[in-house]
Amino acid sequence: MENHEIYIIVAVGKNNGIGKEGKLPWHFKKEIKYFKEITTETENQEKQNMVIMGRNTWESIKPKYRPLKDRKNIVLTRNPQYKAEGAETAESLEEAVKMADEKIEKMFIIGGEMVFNKSINDPDLTGIYLTRIKKEYECDTYFPKIPERFNKIKRLGMDKENGVKFEYFLYKK
């Protein structure tokens, strides 16, 4: 089996917060567009990318947007009876990664907190797409500290919406 690149993609507020009561604490159309572009675009037009998420993240996506279009969706759940319509399920991150076949170009881990905590120290993790939102939000879930091995940091751009600035970064080994 070919080796796939595996990325985390996440947006964080000033305090590294990522969520509040199972939802994103912010709504930025530009950030959503950026997320869609990064997780959808492939170099090879005959391939697609895969998104891996926990059950809570899946359930936080409005049903009309599920599954995320033009990407293979994998939902992590320990419940073998769980049905995620339009997506496949896996009991572990390792099992999800094995579900990538030759039609998959890249994999993106999109949340939430438990999945990020489990995957951030995985030696197979290629990099982290991090959007840093320059505002503090009240959150109850947080993104873990980025390991020092991801020390090649590339600034991919900056945006502003509703008076809030945010910057896009790519952390690589």
**Catalytic residue (choose from 5, 24, 105, 130):** 24
The 3 state secondary structure assigned to 22-75 is CECCCCCHHHHHHHHHHHHCCCCCCCEEEEEEEHHHHHHCCHHHCCCCCEEEEE
**Catalytic residue (choose from 2, 5, 21, 31):** 31
Is 24 considered catalytic here? yes
Is 156 considered catalytic here? no
Residue 84's contacts (CB-CB under 8 Å, 6 or more residues apart) are: 55, 58, 66, 67, 73, 75, 77
Q: How far are the Cα atoms of 22, 50, 72, 122, 125 from residue 38, in angstroms, in the given order?
A: 23, 11, 14, 21, 16
Q: Known catalytic residues?
A: 24, 31
